[in-house]
Amino acid sequence: MLLGRQLLRTASRGSRASVVPQALTRSIATAPPIEFAQRHVSKGLARLSEDVIERAEGSWVTFRGGRTVLDFTCGIGVTNLGHCHPKVSKAAAEQCLNLVHGQCGIAYHEPYLRLIERLLTIVPHASLDSFFFANSGSEAVEAALKMARGITRKQNIVAMQGAFHGRTFGAMAVTKSKTVYADGSSPLMPGVVTSPFPYWHHFNSAPGADDAELVRASLYQLELLLLQQSAPSDTAAVIVEPVLGEGGYVPAPPAFLQGLRDICDKNGLLLIIDEVQSGFGRTGRMFNIQYSGVRPDLLIMAKGLANGFPLSAVVSPKDLTDKLKPGTMVRLPSTPIEVADAFQEERILENVNARSAELFEALWALKADPTVGPHILDVRGQGLMVAVEFASPAHSQFDPAVQKKTPPSMSMRVSKRCLEKGLLLLTTSIYETVRFIPALNISPEDLGKGIGIFKEAVEEVIHEA
Ligand SMILES: Cc1ncc(COP(=O)(O)O)c(C=O)c1O
């Protein structure tokens, strides 16, 4: 092992030795796993920790060497029922012994139909009854965009400022949360126009800005967009996350989603609701769109749908999908997993709402603390999709919200300090924001432990500044 490390060091100094360490790093038996990973895993992937996960169960993750940490990331909102939920993992194992690749371009298959049967009982609107399955959130977004164009025979798509929809070409084109996601990838899919989401930052305002005013201003801009940039006759759809995810965990006020529905109806546009991150109980209802009562034309789901197995879906009314020609959609195998049962048996939504109240109470108390409070701009979110935005000086001299006295880069520093103390906690957005995405069945004790670590980390970062 020592020899491997020495050779790697030599290799970074001169070209002659580079052949030798390459051979050594080809096996995790001869190179330390982290060096092996840094050598062979694409640099295009970013990560919170450079450690290696060995196993995970429920709300806990064990790193190589046995270090166990509390997971408030859930694989970015994927393992909603905790890691390796016994019912879900057992269903997957049994399915693997029965039918792995039931190519839906060959025939229907039973697990696929049973999954639809189950999902029909939880979709947020009775009109949503025609399903298309894929593997990832991005793929489902691609499918929804293609369906919207195919159904309407129109091209343009309206995306929201701050939106994240994925990293494939269509999904990347409607992603407006950070430019890095499309770095070096242009030209992107054409025909995308952007309208503001009612987040106070987007209007150069400050936390506490009146929701009704933000909604009015956002909808007004969308109306202008349809008059000035993309005529309704050229516009296929509006795509929106009901809670901005990578854009900062900002819930849309119900009036905004209702306003979008009206504008879409008046102008013949489809409304695509992306619940990849906010769906499956994450915000306290099965789907976030239920809070507004808005009917989606196309609803995208993934992540919590299969609790870590690759599965995503687009569901829409049958009269819309009947306009698609057979063969236009990709036909991929899916891995139908029964997550919905666990929601009822384990009263998951009750737990989400109870733990959410505890989390908000603790974060509001932190914001009320005279030492810490001035450095916290905002505590927001819904259910267990919760964010704290710090007041660190950010990227713009014109931002009225930030505090010059707040330590720089607080979100990243707090996240790192949490990891040192045994808590996985992610940042999000271009603003100084950390996000809490614990398992939906997290116990009060584990939630309390995580909150305790977070508080300590925040206090330490403030004092070390
Ligand atoms: C709202 C939203 N849509 C789409 C995606 C893309 O999903 P995937 O990473 O599975 O491709 C994500 C991923 O974080 C997401 O949060």
Instruction: Of 402, 400, 391, give the one whose Cα is nearest residue 461.
Output: 391
Q: 88-345 has which CATH code?
A: 3.40.640.10
Tell whether the model's pLDDT for residue 290 goes beyond 70: yes
Tokens of 440: 């939906």
Index of the ligand 1 atom closest to the CA of residue 167: 11
Any idea which residue has 């979008």 for tokens?
A: 260
Residues with Cβ < 8 Å from 151, sequence gap 6 or more?
236, 270, 320, 321, 323, 324
Index of the ligand 1 atom closest to the CA of residue 138: 11
pTM over 0.85: yes
Q: Is the pLDDT higher at 47 or at 11?
A: 47
Q: Kindly state if the Cβ of 58 falls inside 6 Å of ligand 1.
A: no
Cα 121 to averaged position of ligand 1 atoms, centre (Å) = 24
CATH 3.90.1150.10 fits 348-464, yes or no: yes
Sheet with strand 68-71: strands edge to edge: 53-57, 60-63, 68-71, 423-424
Cα 124 to averaged position of ligand 1 atoms, centre (Å) = 20
CA 390-394-396 angle, to 5 degrees, is: 140
What digits encode the pLDDT tens for the residues 225-273? Answer: 999 999 999 999 999 999 999 999 999 999 999 999 999 999 999 999 9
User: What's the N-to-C CA distance of the chain in angstroms?
Assistant: 39
Q: Kindly state if the Cβ of 71 falls inside 6 Å of ligand 1.
A: no
Cα 166 to averaged position of ligand 1 atoms, centre (Å) = 5
Q: Kindly state if the Cβ of 276 falls inside 6 Å of ligand 1.
A: yes
Residues with Cβ < 8 Å from 322, sequence gap 6 or more?
130
Residue boundaries of the structural domains of the chain: 1-39, 88-345, 348-464
Element (H, E) at 294: none
What digits encode the pLDDT tens for the residues 2-45? Answer: 334 443 344 344 444 444 456 667 777 777 788 888 889 998 88
What local confidence, expressed as pLDDT, does residue 22 receive?
64
Instruction: Give the HSE-up count for residue 276: Cα atoms under 13 Å, Cβ half-sphere.
Output: 30
CA 372-385-129 angle, to 5 degrees, is: 165
Q: Kindly state if the Cβ of 302 falls inside 6 Å of ligand 1.
A: yes
Q: Calculate mean pLDDT across residues 293-298.
A: 98
- β-bridge pairing 312-316 and 298-301: antiparallel
Index of the ligand 1 atom closest to the CA of residue 275: 1
